[in-house]
Amino acid sequence: MIIRFQYSKLGMMKYLGHLDLIRFFERAFRRLKLPLAFSQGYHPHPKMTFGGPLSVGVSSEYEIMEVELDRKINVADFMVRFNDFAPVGLKLIDYRPVAKSTSLMQAVSLIRYRVDMPAGQCDLVAAFAASDKIILRKKNKKHRWVDKDLKPFVAEIVESGDSAIGRRYIISIHSFDNGSAKPRDVIAILCRDTALDIYAVDITRTALFFSDSGQYKPLLEL
Q: How many CB atoms lie within 10 A of CB 104?
A: 19
pLDDT at residue 41 is higher than 90: no
Amino acid at the residue 185: D
Nearest residue to 59 via CA among 164, 210, 184: 184
Measured in whole angstroms, the distance separating CA 69 from the mean position of its chain's CA atoms is: 24
What domains lie within the chain, and their CATH numbers? 2-102 (3.30.70.580), 106-221 (no CATH)
- What pLDDT does 100 receive? 85
Question: What's the rounded Cα separation, in Å, for the pair 151 and 1?
Answer: 41
Render pLDDT for 90-143 as a digit per residue (tens, 0 to 9). Answer: 999 999 999 888 889 999 999 999 999 998 889 999 999 999 999 999 888 888
pLDDT at residue 6 is higher than 90: yes
Amino acid at the residue 116: D
82-94 as b/e: b if 16+ CB within 10 A: beeebeeebbbee
pLDDT at residue 23 is higher than 90: yes
Give the CA distances from residue 198 to residues 20, 60, 152, 165, 168, in Å, rounded to whole numbers and listed in that order.
25, 18, 22, 13, 14
112 within 8 A of 170, measured Cβ to Cβ:
yes
User: Is 0.85 topped by the overall pTM?
Assistant: yes
Question: What's the rounded Cα separation, in Å, for the pair 184 and 204?
Answer: 11
Question: What's the rounded Cα separation, in Å, for the pair 180 and 99?
Answer: 29
Render pLDDT for 136-167 as a digit per residue (tens, 0 to 9). Answer: 998 888 889 999 999 999 999 999 999 999 99
Question: What's the rounded Cα separation, in Å, for the pair 74 and 72?
Answer: 7
* Strand, helix or coil for residue 129: helix
